[in-house]
Amino acid sequence: MSQAAPATAAQPTPPTPRSRGMRLPLKVKLSLVIIALVFLTVSLVSAFLIRQEQVTLTAEMTKRGLTIAENLSAGAKSSLLASDELTLNVLVKDAMKDPDVAYVAIADENGTVLAHSDVGEIGKPITRPAGLEQLGSAPLVRTYQTKPKGEVIDFAMPLVFSDTPVGALYLGFSKQAITDALAHAFWRAVIITGAMVVVGVLGAIGLSNLLSRPIFRLVRGTRAIADGDFNVALPVTSRDELGTLTESFNQMARSLREKEMIKHAFTRYVAREVVEEILKDPEHLVLSGERREATVLFCDIRGFTPLSERMSPEDVVILLNEFYTLMIETVFKHDGTLDKFLGDAVMAVFGAPISHPDHAVRAVRTAIAMQAGIAALNDARMRDGKERIQVGIGVSVGEVVAGTVGSGERMEYTVIGDSVNLASRLESSAKPGRILISGRTYDKVRDLVDVVPLGPIKVKGKEEHVEVFELVGHREGA
What are the pLDDT digits (tens) for 231-259? Answer: 888 888 777 777 888 888 888 888 888 77
Q: What is the pLDDT of residue 272?
A: 63
Rounded distance between C-alpha atoms, residue 118 and residue 103, angstroms: 8
Question: Residue range 186-207: average pLDDT?
Answer: 80
Q: Which one is predicted more confidently, 14 or 180?
A: 180
Question: Residue range 446-462: average pLDDT?
Answer: 86
What are the pLDDT digits (tens) for 385-427? Answer: 999 999 999 999 999 998 877 776 667 778 899 999 999 999 9
Amino acid at 265: A
Please provide residue 397's backbone torsions phi and psi, each rounded to the nearest 5 degrees. -105, 140
pLDDT at 171 over 80: yes
Tell me if 384 sits within 8 A of 319, measured CB to CB. Answer: no
Rounded distance between C-alpha atoms, residue 223 and residue 270, angstroms: 30
Is 474 in a helix, a strand, or coil?
Answer: strand
Q: What is the pLDDT of residue 128?
A: 82
pLDDT at 369 over 80: yes
Mark 199-227 as b/e (b = at least 16 C-beta within 10 Å): ebbeebbeebeeebebeebbeebeeebee
Rounded distance between C-alpha atoms, residue 397 and residue 400, angstroms: 9
Q: Are strands 289-302 and 390-406 parallel, antiparallel or unpaired?
A: antiparallel
Share of the chain above pLDDT 70, in %: 87
DSSP-derived secondary structure for 309-364: HTS-HHHHHHHHHHHHHHHHHHHHHTT-EEEEEETTEEEEEESSSS--TTHHHHHH
Annotated domain spans of the chain: 26-180, 228-266, 283-474
Pick the CATH number of 26-180 from 3.30.2270.10, 3.40.50.300, 3.30.300.30, 3.30.450.20: 3.30.450.20
Tell me if 320 sits within 8 A of 304, measured CB to CB. Answer: no
Angle of CA points 230, 231, 234, to nearest 5°: 105
Mean pLDDT over all residues of the chain? 82
Is 29 in a helix, a strand, or coil?
Answer: helix
Share of the chain above pLDDT 90, in %: 28
Q: How confident is the model at residue 196 (pLDDT cuts 50, 70, 90)?
A: confident
- The HSE-up count of residue 175 (CA atoms within 13 Å, CB side) is 23
Is 293 in a helix, a strand, or coil?
Answer: strand
DSSP-derived secondary structure for 386-416: ----EEEEEEEEEEEEEEEEE-SS-EEEEEE
Q: What is the pLDDT of residue 8?
A: 43
Topology of domain 283-474 in CATH is Alpha-Beta Plaits (3.30.70)
pLDDT at 80 over 60: yes
pLDDT at 330 over 90: yes
What are the pLDDT digits (tens) for 18-53? Answer: 445 567 776 677 778 877 888 888 888 888 888 888
Is 135 in a helix, a strand, or coil?
Answer: coil
- The neighbour count for residue 6, using CB atoms within 10 Å, is 6
Question: Residue range 55-67: average pLDDT?
Answer: 84
Identify which of 152, 187, 131, 145 has the alpha carbon closest to the alpha carbon of residue 61. Answer: 152
Q: Are strands 435-438 and 390-406 parallel, antiparallel or unpaired?
A: parallel
pLDDT at 10 over 60: no
pLDDT at 324 over 80: yes
pLDDT at 286 over 80: no
Q: Which one is predicted more confidently, 226 or 264?
A: 226
Angle of CA points 401, 402, 403, to nearest 5°: 125
